[in-house]
A and B are shown apart, each in its own frame.
Chain A
Amino acid sequence: MTATNVTFKVFRFDPEKDTEGRYQDYTLAVAPGETILNCVNRIKWEQDQTLAHRFSCGSAICGSCAMKINGHATLVCKTQAMDKVKDGVIRIDPIGNLKPLRDLVVDLTPFWKSFEKVEPWLAPDAHSAPEKERLQTPEQFAKIDNSTTCIMCAACFSDCNVLEVDKRYYGPATLAKAHRFIFDSRDARTEARLRKVTEETGVWDCTHCGECSTRCPTETKPLARINEIRQAAMKAGMHDTSGARHVLGFRETVGKRGLLDENYVPIRSVGFFNLAGLLSLAPVGLRMLARGKNPPFIPHSIEKAGEVRAIFAKREELNK
C-alpha cells in the first residue's frame, strides 16, 4: 500500500496571454485508492494555485468535473488515478468540442443551449389534471430509468464524432433528454417529439461510433437511447426522413449484396433527386475523409456475404 510517483501532464491555457494551450508537468505521489479529482485538487492546493478546473460534489452526481484523461472524456471524481497511468504519466485536457476558457475549464454554452431544441419539460395532456399523482406502472418507469440518470456532465458531447464535424448535431445528451420524454408514459407529445428528433441533425445523424456510451459515467448510455428512439420512429411509420431512408437503404444494400455499401447508403438516404441534399453531404463527407473516417470507396467483399443475404431474405419473408 505505498504511494506511486506519477507525472500529470496538464493542459494550461490563459486567453489573456496565450494564443494556444501548453502542457505543464506536475509530479505527485499517488496513494492507492486516490481518485483523479483528488490528485488535481492536490496539484492546485499543494503545488500550483493558479490551475483552474471545475468540481463540486465529489461524488459523481453534480457533473462538474468531466476532463479528458489520456484523450478521453472522464468524470474524474469517480476515476481511480492508478487505473489511468501509462508509462508513469496521466495526461489531462479540457473536454472537447467546446471552447477552452482557461486551463481545464471550457465554455459550456453550446451544450446547455442544445437542450432547448428538444423542449426538455414534461408536456402532459392538459385535459387530464389529476388531483393526486399521475399513475405510471413500474415497467413504464423502468423505460425512463436509464435516461433520467443523466448528470449533464458533457463527457459524451466532448467525445462525439459527429459533433466534431457538425456543430448542428443535437448531440448525445440532448437526444437522451428527448428520450426521457418520448418514453415517459405521462407525456402527451410523443409524436411531435419523435418528428422533431428524426429531422435533419437529429437521431439519424449519429454514426453509431459508441463513444458517448463508453464515456458516459451514468446509466444514460446515449447510443442505446438513440437506438430506442430510432426504433420508435420506424415503428411509428416515420419513414419519410433521411435517416429512415438510410435504414431502408441499408436493408436494401445489405439484402442485395450481403454487405454494406456505405457510399451508396448516404446518397440513398437524401434521395437521388435531392440535389441540395446531396451537396449538403459533401462537406461532412469531405471532412470525414480528411480525418480518415470515410468508408472505403470500393466496397470490400466479405466472406459470409451469402449468409447475410439469406438472413435478410428470411426476415423479409417473415415480415410479409
Chain B
Amino acid sequence: MYSHDVVIVGSGLAGLRAAMELAGHLDVAVVTKVYPSRSHSGAAQGGVAAALGNMDGDTPEAHLYDTVKGSDFLADQDAAEILTSDAIRTIYEMEHFGCPFSRTPENKIAQRAFGGHSYQRACYSADRTGHALLHTLFEQTYRQGGNIQIYSEWYMLRLIVEEGIARGIVAMDIQTGRIEVFRAKTVLFATGGYGRAYKITSNAFANTGDGISAAYRAGIPLMDMEFVQFHPTGLYQHGILLSEAARGEGGYLLNGNGERFMQKYAPSKMELGPRDIVSRSEQTEINEGRGAGPNKDYVYLDLRHLGREKIMERLPQVYHLAKDFIGVDAAEAPVPIQPTAHYSMGGIPADKDCQVLLDEKGNKVTGFYAAGECSCISVHGANRLGTNSLLDALVFGRRAGKSILAATEGASFAPVDEKKELAAARREIDSLLHNGATEDLHAIREELKETMTLKVGVYRNGEQMKEAHGTIKELQARFVNVRVDDRRKNFNTNLLEALELGHMLEYSELIVAGAEVRTESRGAHARDDYPTRDDENWLAHTLAFRKDDGGYELKYKPVTITRFKPVERTY
C-alpha cells in the first residue's frame, strides 16, 4: 500500500496546478494514465479567457455576463463570478511561470475574439495555447523535483469512499500490471472530460471519463451529464478540432451553395456566435439539404481570403491539420467540416471550493475534491464558452489546492481495508478476463459511439433518445461477455480499453437519461420536439444517483442566481 497526504488523479492543467499549490507543504502524489505532457489539456488551441483589456475596454463584469448568458443561465452565478474575477491574476501568474504568449505591438499578451465573448478576451500562444500552458506547468514539476511524486502510466481503477469519507484510490501500474491501494487523507479528481463516448469527437482517446464514473460507482451523484458541447469546426469524418481561432481570425462558414449561412441564424455575431448555436446552424443546413459534398453531409470553413501569410502566422496548426489529415490546403480550398463532440459540461458535482457534493441538499464528501473538466461546479451551465475551460482548470485547480491544503494539514488517515479494496479491483478485472468472451470489444464501443453521435447529438428528440437508451442497455448486457485476448500483465492496453469501455457504457446511459427527461432546449441540449427553454420547470441542475440495484435515480437542485435574471438568449 502506498500512502500520501494527497493523491491527485490527473495531470492536465487542473491536476498539475493543484499539485503546485500543495508541493512543499504536503506529501502529494499525482497519478495519471498518460505522461503529464500527453494530457488532453495540451490539445487546446484557441486561447484562455481573461479580461486583461489589452486590446479594448474589457472588464471582469462583462466576462461574467457573457459566461452566464453563454451558459443559457444554467451556470451557478456565484461560481462563475469566481472564475471571471480570478481570471486576470491567473493569466499573469501563468505568464510569470514562463508561458510563452503571443504579443501585441505594445509587447503585452495578445488577445483575440472568440465565440460568445463580447470583447477580444482570448489570450493565446499562436494556436497551441493549451500546449503552451500545459508544458509550462510540466516544467514547473521539474522545478518542484521530489516535492511532487508523479506516478505516470498508472491507471486509477477505483475511488475508495466509505461513510461519506474518501480514503484513497486503487490504481494499476500500466507498465507492470501491479495493483496498489493508495491511501490518502484527501483525494482530488482532475480526470478530464467524457467526449470519447461520441463517434465524431475532438477528444483524445484517453478522454473516457473514468474519474466521473468511478465517483458514481463510489456513491457520488453526477450532475448535468446531458450537457455535451458540440464544436462547429470538426474536421470532416475525423472530428479533429480546427480551432475556433479560425473564425476568430475572420474565417467564413459556407454551405454547399457557397452562402455564409450564419447570416440567417446570428446576424450580429455571424461566424462568432456561440458554439451551440453555430453547431446547430450547420446541422440545420445539412439536414435541410444545403450541405456540401456528394452526400451533402458537411459544410465548409473558408480561410482563403485571409491569405497564406496570415494563415501560416496565426493558424499554423489549423493549416497543418487540414493538410496532413485530409490533404486540403486551406490557403487554396475551403476545408470540409462538421460538428464534433467537444466539451463535457457535466460531471462530478462540487462546491465553489471544489469539495464534492454528496446530494442535492449540499452535503459533502469529506476528503474528496474535483476540478477541471471532470467537475461540475457549475461555471459553464448548459454551454461553455470557448476559452473558459482552460481558465476553469487553472482557477479551480489552484483553488482546489488551497482548500485541500487547509483541510488536510493536521488531518489523519482514515482507515482503509486494503484487502477488500484490492479484491474488489481484481474482481472487476477478472470479470473482463474470465467470461463467456463472446462479444467483440471494438464492436460494442463503435456501436455506442455511433448511437451517441446520431441519437444524442447536436439535435435530440424523445423517440431517438428512447432508442439510444435501449441500445445502451443492450450494449451493457453484451459487455458482460466482452472478449479480452491479451493475458499479459505488462502494458495490457487491451484490458485498459475494456475498463474504459465499462466506464463509457455506465455514464453514457446518464447522458441519455438526463436528456430524455429534460423536456426543453437549453444551451447545448437542443430538442426538436421541445425547441424552447422552459425556465419554469427546468431552470435546475440534474443529479443522477446510482441505486444499489445498478439502476439510477434523477433528482434536481436549483441554480444559484445572484446578479443576472434569466432572459432570452439571442446573438
Q: Which of A's residues lie within 8 Å of B, judged by CB?
A: 14-16, 33, 35, 44-46, 48-50, 52-53, 55-64, 78-80, 101-103, 105, 108, 112, 115-116, 119-122, 124, 129, 131-138, 140-141, 144-145, 148-152, 180-181, 184, 186-187, 219
Contact = CB atoms under 8 A, between A and B. Distances in A.
Given A14-B488, A151-B37, A184-B100, A61 B205 contact: no
A138 B140 CA distance: 24
Nearest to B137: A121
B490 A16 contact: yes
B493 interface: yes
B435 to A, nearest CB: 15
B555 interface: no
B486 A50 contact: yes
Contact of A78 (B34, B325, B485): B325
Given A52-B493, A63-B38, A184-B100, A58 B442 contact: no
B461 interface: no
Contact of A149 (B43, B128, B321): B128
B491 A121 contact: no
Contacts of B489: 16
Nearest to B203: A57
Given A14-B490, A108-B35, 7 more contacts: A49-B484, A50-B485, A57-B205, A59-B325, A122-B97, A140-B103, A149-B128
Nearest to A152: B37
A140 to B, nearest CB: 8
A49 B485 contact: yes
A46 B442 contact: yes
A62 B240 CA distance: 13
A213 to B, nearest CB: 17
A45 B205 CA distance: 14
Contacts of B108: 132-133, 135
A99 B442 CA distance: 30
5 contacts: A58-B240, A61-B42, A62-B204, A105-B491, A219-B316
Interface in B427-453: 441-442
Contacts of B326: 33
**Which 6 residue pairs are nearest across A and B when measured between Cβ atoms?**
A122-B98, A45-B442, A135-B107, A49-B485, A121-B143, A57-B204
Interface in B454-490: 483-486, 488-490
Contact of A141 (B34, B100, B143, B205): B100
Interface residues of B, number: 64
A141 B102 contact: yes
Contacts of B125: 148
A56 B33 CA distance: 11
B241 A62 contact: no
A88 B258 CA distance: 41
Contact of B96 (A57, A124, A180): A124
B350 to A, nearest CB: 26
A63 B37 contact: yes
A186 to B, nearest CB: 7
B327 interface: yes
Nearest to B123: A133
A58 B135 CA distance: 18
Contact of B324 (A16, A78, A115, A140): A78
Contacts of B492: 52
A150 B204 CA distance: 19
B106 to A, nearest CB: 8
Contacts of B38: 56-57, 62-64
B205 A102 contact: no
Contacts of B131: 61, 149, 151
Contacts of B571: none
B321 A57 contact: no
A138 B494 contact: no
A150 B205 CA distance: 21
A59 B126 contact: no
B225 to A, nearest CB: 23
B260 interface: no
A201 B86 CA distance: 45
Given A112-B35, A121-B140, A133-B95, A61 B43 contact: yes
B268 interface: no
Interface in B7-63: 34-35, 37-40, 42-43, 52
Nearest to A52: B491
Contact of B126 (A102, A132, A145): A145
A37 to B, nearest CB: 10
Contacts of B103: 136-138, 140-141
A132 B204 contact: no
Nearest to B445: A45
B263 interface: no
B442 A131 contact: no
A62 B42 contact: yes
B494 A35 contact: no
B175 interface: yes
B490 A57 contact: no
Contacts of A35: 325
Nearest to A35: B325
Given A58-B204, A62-B204, A108-B35, A50 B324 contact: no
B132 interface: yes
Contacts of A141: 100-103
Among A78, A129, A134, A150, max chain B CB count under 10 A is at A134
Nearest to A111: B35
A60 B204 contact: no
A196 B490 CA distance: 38
B486 A186 contact: no
Contacts of A180: 100
Contacts of B410: none
A41 to B, nearest CB: 9
A131 B96 CA distance: 10
Contacts of B325: 33, 35, 59, 78
A132 B488 CA distance: 53
A58 B205 contact: yes
B177 to A, nearest CB: 10
Interface string B83-112: 000000001100111101111110111000
Contact of A144 (B100, B175, B316): B100
A45 B140 CA distance: 37
Nearest to B494: A49
Contacts of B105: 138
Among A49, A63, A119, A150, max chain B CB count under 10 A is at A49
A136 B96 CA distance: 12
B546 interface: no
Contacts of A145: 100, 126
B528 interface: no
A148 B317 CA distance: 14
Nearest to B483: A49
A272 B120 CA distance: 62
B534 interface: no
B100 A121 contact: no
Contacts of B240: 58-59
Contacts of B37: 62-63, 151-152
A101 to B, nearest CB: 6
B490 A15 contact: yes
B139 interface: yes
A116 B206 contact: no
B411 to A, nearest CB: 31
B18 to A, nearest CB: 18
